[in-house]
């Protein structure tokens, strides 16, 4: 199945996620499986998970289907907060690597390997994702990083998260990193979906809430471009996840996941209300819609509690058949 969403109903879905830093085993990659085009009946997979580097943590997992049909890759943040030195240390002096696993069939994973994608001036590499660029026949991999001045080797000065990117063909060798999105304030958690020749980018506004110049802080904004690699995307929507037109909203949102609506035309946007309900579905008729509203029908999309920032991969029937052998318990 192609990475760009073509509204062909999938045979099922695979959800990669982690559960949080409040437990010693929470920063590991786990999997949920859902059969059928809907997103309402999930089962936990027993084999092949959880995934994490020895002595470390893995957060924000992202599933990538290889366009040549050779298998799959899984990217994750190389980070463990539980039992560590805290968020400030992780932001300023964390890992400059991303984690990569490989799989031929989604039932077993090889890895992880740590791939260094940022220079010593960077403080961290968070929430890596990838999207295939058909015009260039390569993947654009993107993530959030802080960067510090050359005369600040200890990373004690001010910085903020911005989105960087690099290209790869095999998830082993990467090009030089460059800034992909820097609006002058902190942003994280970009994800991309393609439709009708447009690349739509969903990103979290990471500014602190409560200030006059940041009305949409801790929510999602949407942009689009005809060129995936461009630094100039045009605005589409902002404050996505907030209450709108009397419809209830979230307290905050991150980790956006965009999917074709399973019950017909339109789109689902899954938002992680971190510290709250976990993933909550929103929907819109078009990706260029200025408004996303909560998805009212739980039969279309009902997600188990406790899932933190992850990704969803549409599946073929053959892939569903292989994953049925790994089912642990119904969620």
> pLDDT tens digit string along 70-127?
999 999 999 999 999 899 999 999 999 999 999 999 999 999 999 999 999 999 999 9
* pLDDT at position 1: 43
> pLDDT tens digit string along 123-174?
999 999 999 999 999 999 999 999 999 999 999 999 999 999 999 999 999 9
What does the domain layout of the chain look like in residue ranges? 12-330
> pLDDT tens digit string along 272-328?
999 999 999 999 999 999 999 999 777 789 999 999 999 999 999 999 999 998 886
> pLDDT tens digit string along 258-267?
999 988 889 9
Closest by Cα among 206, 187, 123 to 157: 123
* pLDDT at position 330: 56
* pLDDT at position 5: 47
Distance CA 57, CA 80 (A): 4
Please give the sequence-ordered ranges of beta strands (E in DSSP) within 134-206, or none if there are none.
138-145, 162-168, 178-181, 187-195, 198-205
* pLDDT at position 146: 98
Distance CA 106, CA 13 (A): 12
Distance CA 195, CA 225 (A): 11
DSSP state of 317: H
Q: Class assignment of domain 12-330? A: mainly beta
Alpha helices in 72-197 (DSSP H): 87-93
25 compared with 2, residue with greater pLDDT: 25
> pLDDT tens digit string along 193-249?
999 999 999 999 999 998 889 999 999 999 999 999 999 999 999 999 999 888 889
Distance CA 22, CA 306 (A): 11
Q: Report the chain's mean pLDDT, rounded to a whole number.
A: 93
């Amino acid at each position: 199945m192609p990475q760009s969403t073509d509204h062909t109903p999938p045979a099922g879905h695979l959800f990669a996620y982690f559960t949080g830093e409040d437990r010693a085993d929470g920063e590991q990659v786990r999997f949920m499986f859902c059969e059928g085009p809907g997103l309402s009946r999930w089962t936990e997979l027993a084999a092949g998970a959880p995934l994490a580097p020895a002595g470390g943590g893995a957060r924000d997992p992202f599933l990538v289907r290889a366009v040549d049909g050779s298998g799959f890759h899984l990217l994750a943040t190389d980070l463990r907060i539980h039992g560590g030195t805290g968020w400030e240390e992780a932001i300023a002096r964390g890992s400059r690597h991303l984690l990569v696993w490989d799989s031929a069939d989604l039932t077993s994973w090889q890895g992880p390997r740590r791939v260094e994608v940022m220079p010593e001036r960077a403080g961290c590499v968070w929430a890596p994702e990838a999207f295939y660029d058909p015009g260039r026949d390569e993947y654009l991999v993107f993530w959030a990083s802080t960067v510090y001045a050359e005369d600040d080797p200890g990373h004690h000065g001010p910085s903020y998260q911005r989105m960087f990117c690099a290209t790869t063909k095999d998830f082993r060798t990467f090009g030089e990193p460059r800034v992909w999105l820097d609006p002058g304030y902190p942003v994280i958690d970009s994800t991309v979906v393609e439709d009708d020749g447009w690349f739509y980018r969903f990103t979290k506004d990471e500014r602190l809430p409560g200030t006059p110049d940041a009305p949409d802080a801790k929510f999602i904004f949407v942009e689009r471009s005809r060129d995936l690699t461009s630094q100039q995307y045009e605005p589409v929507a902002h404050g996505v996840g907030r209450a709108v037109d009397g419809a209830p909203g979230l307290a905050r949102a991150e980790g956006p996941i965009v999917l074709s609506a399973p019950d017909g035309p339109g789109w689902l946007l899954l938002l992680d209300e971190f510290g709250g309900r976990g993933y909550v579905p929103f929907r819109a008729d078009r990706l260029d819609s200025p408004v996303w509203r909560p998805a009212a029908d739980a039969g279309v999309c009902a997600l188990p509690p406790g899932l933190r920032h992850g990704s969803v991969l549409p599946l073929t029937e053959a892939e569903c058949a292989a994953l049925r052998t790994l089912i642990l318990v119904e969620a």
